[in-house]
Amino acid sequence: MDAYAPQKKERVFGDVVLSVDDISLSFGGVQALANISFGVREHQVLAIIGPNGAGKSSMLNVINGFYHPQQGTITYKGETRRQMKPHQAARQGVARTFQNIALFKGMSTLDNIMTGRNTMMHRNLLWQALHVGPARKEELEHREFVENIIDFLEIEHIRKTPVGRLPYGLQKRVELGRALAAQPELLLLDEPMAGMNLEEKEDMSRFILDVNDEFGTTIVLIEHDMGVVMDISDHVVVLDYGRKLADGSPDEVRSNQEVIDAYLGVAHD
């Protein structure tokens, strides 16, 4: 841009926080993932790309413990595991959004995001139901945190609107809000921009980068829009029919012949 654009600092990443080693996953005779390995470093934005059926969503499901791979291990924050339950992943600071929005349609934006705080509420059901004393105090603290997220994502105007009535782009934003409410260290986004128009995509990209920047959250995302992927990610993993085709910086991946053949098509520049 011009001379006064903000001076981007050199992106600094920490150690490898999530490492996927030799993962294979099959459903009956269908091999969804075959010997996949890659690592995600702290504060990185990593994109997984690939054609439909490449195994991208399966990969995310393996990471957050929803699918159990037949082979291979996942090391998250130094802890190696083969199998984990999604709620354990959640407690370890992994949050995600879904390809098909999975919100409570009849509940308001505010309530939906509040559910993201669920793992952090300590009072038991009885206290919560009575809604007095410590339970009330706890809820106020969580509400305050959620209000920060609402402010961050600029969704004040739909705070009290039932989510089912919102347009798609906003629902996606609410879903991101709910994932953020869990204060994740690792955020998994499954096609955060699918079905959005250009303006909504720009907004969403900005929010993702802001999350990464302000909270230092490590992000793994699946996306089809190559423009977006190349712009916002630090590292790209390319899958094709369960195999890993390439793994590198956006520029490396863009110029990889195998990737071009399988997925990108001819480079236009």
Partner 1 sequence: MRGSRPAIREKDFGIWQTWNWAQTEKEIRALACGLAAYGFERGDRLAIIGDNRPQLYWAMVAAQYDGGVPVPVYQDSVAEEMQYVLEHADARFAIAEDQEQVDKLLEIKDRCPRLEHIIYKDQRGMRDYNHPFIHYIEDVQEKGRQYDAEHPGYAEGKVNEGKGSDIAIMLYTSGTTGKPKGVMLSHDNLIITARNGAIQEGLTENEEALAYLPMAWVGDNLFSLSQAYVAGFCVSCPESSETVLTDLREIGPTYFFAPPRIFENILTTVTIRMEDAAPFKQRMFKYFMELAKRVGTRILDGEQVSFMDRLRYMAGNILIYAPLKNVLGFSRFRVAYTAGEAIGPEIFDFYRSLGINIKQLYGSTEASVLITTQPNGEVRPDTVGKPCLDVDIRIEDNGEVMFKSPGVFVGYYKNEEATAETKTSDGWVHTGDAGFFDADGHLKIIDRAKDVGKLTDGSMFAPKYLENKLKFFPFVKEAVAFGNEKDYVATFINIDLEAVGNWAERRNLPYSGYTDLADRDDVYDLVQECIEKVNVDLAADEHLSGSQIRRFLILHKELDADDGELTRTRKVRRNFIADRYQELIDALYSDKSHIRVEAEVTFEDGRKGMIKADVKIREAAMTTVQPMKEAG
- For binding to partner 1 (CB under 8 A), which residues are involved? 2-9, 143-144, 147-148, 150-152, 154, 156-157, 159-160, 206, 210, 213-214
Q: Tell me the one-letter amino acid at 27.
A: F
Report DSSP state, residue 235: E
CB of 204 to partner 1, least distance (A): 15
CA of residue 136 relative to chain centroid, distance: 31
224 Cβ partners below 8 Å, 6+ apart? 49, 191, 194
Cα distance between residue 113 and residue 184, in whole Å: 14
Q: Closest CB to partner 1 among 154 and 251?
A: 154
Q: Closest CB to partner 1 among 214 and 269?
A: 214
Cα distance between residue 62 and residue 80, in whole Å: 13
CB of 168 to partner 1, least distance (A): 16
- Conformational region of residue 93, where left means phi above 0, alpha means psi within -120 to 50, and beta covers everything else: left
CB of 197 to partner 1, least distance (A): 12
CB of 9 to partner 1, least distance (A): 6
CB of 6 to partner 1, least distance (A): 4
Cα distance between residue 43 and residue 50, in whole Å: 23
Q: Closest CB to partner 1 among 42 and 147?
A: 147
Nearest to 54 by CA among 25, 95, 75: 25
Q: Closest CB to partner 1 among 46 and 150?
A: 150
Q: Closest CB to partner 1 among 82 and 157?
A: 157
